[in-house]
A and B are shown apart, each in its own frame.
Chain A
Amino acid sequence: MTLNSLFFIIFSGILVLSSIFSMVSKRMTYTLLWAMMVFLMIAGLFLLLGASYNAMVQFLIYVVAIPVLIAVSIMLINSNNKENTFFRGKYSLWVLTGVFFLVLIIGEFLSLNNDFFEIIKNCSVYVNTYSDLSSVTRNILGVYPVLFLEFASGIVLTIIGLSHYGK
């Protein structure tokens, strides 16, 4: 099994499961968190396909910007006004957060080796690299884009959690 296949199976499996959980969840906050997981996994699939700039745009818009918008709208519309059990007795949130940061940390270590994009292109089918715009991304975010993404996603998760907890 190549690393490309392994990551594809992990990303697509988490994507499908998260989308089902997002639709099944009764609370809007859980729906939002699972939807964030779906968008993050799609960004990972973009990265596997060689579209790193699209992955960055996907992350910044769908995992950072839009969840803040939806979280504020949930607060304004008050559609989640059951008793506050967001941090109590629910293990799914912690599992979700753990998987989220585990994936990011693994990605960070792989990207620090600089062989990540070479390793995932072991496939015999020709994969078109998006080298021009990925160099733009590296110029904007420096050599450690995943650290930036970790920081940004931590801030978003904290904002969502605190906004719900403070209700």
Chain B
Amino acid sequence: MGNNIFYCVTSYNYQIVSLILFFIGLLGVILSRNLIKVLISLEFIMNAVNLLFISFASYKSEPSYLGYTLVIFTTGISALVLAVGIYFAYLLNKKFGTIDVVKIYDKYKETGKC
């Protein structure tokens, strides 16, 4: 009864949700051709890791703010990564006329320069 999710949510349940979100993000990074969708998938991955940190910090037996503080920093850094990635996507679109990563790679192979 104690391990039933309908009775009590444990850290294990949060780990499962985090794992599912992580692998959906990983599949998005691998399979998506749109560069912005790849960046959003990266954000999914970072959010999955953040959720894991918070769940570990919350279910610790003694109070510790390390996980919470770390998540604030990773949130800011991931926002920064997204902003820089979007700028690169804009530059690539300006250069190649598309943000499809396969087409960009084909055009790069044709021209031989970026």
Contacts and interface: CB of A to CB of B under 8 A. Distances in A.
Contact of B43 (A46, A66, A74, A78): A66
B86 A69 contact: yes
Contacts of A58: 47, 50, 75
Nearest to A127: B58
A23 B13 contact: no
Among A4, A51, A127, max chain B CB count under 10 A is at A51
Contact of A128 (B5, B17, B63, B82): B63
A163 interface: no
Among B14, B44, B79, B83, max chain A CB count under 10 A is at B44
A9 B5 contact: yes
Interface string B38-56: 0011011001001100110
B58 A51 contact: yes
A125 B59 CA distance: 7
Contacts of A8: 5, 9, 13
Contacts of B50: 42, 54, 58
Interface stretch (A28-36, A84-92, A109-117): A28-36
Contacts of B6: 1, 5
Interface bin, chain A: 35 or more
A46 B17 CA distance: 13
A16 B24 contact: yes
B114 interface: no
A132 to B, nearest CB: 8
25 contacts: A8-B13, A16-B20, A16-B21, A16-B24, A23-B24, A23-B37, A23-B41, A31-B36, A31-B40, A35-B44, A38-B21, A42-B50, A51-B54, A57-B72, A57-B75, A69-B86, A70-B36, A70-B82, A73-B89, A76-B90, A123-B8, A125-B10, A125-B11, A128-B59, A128-B63
A110 to B, nearest CB: 17
A101 interface: no
Nearest to B10: A125
A158 interface: no
A23 B77 CA distance: 23
Contacts of A69: 82-83, 86
Interface in A52-91: 53-54, 57-58, 61-62, 65-66, 69-70, 73-74, 76-79
A31 B44 CA distance: 12
Nearest to A1: B6
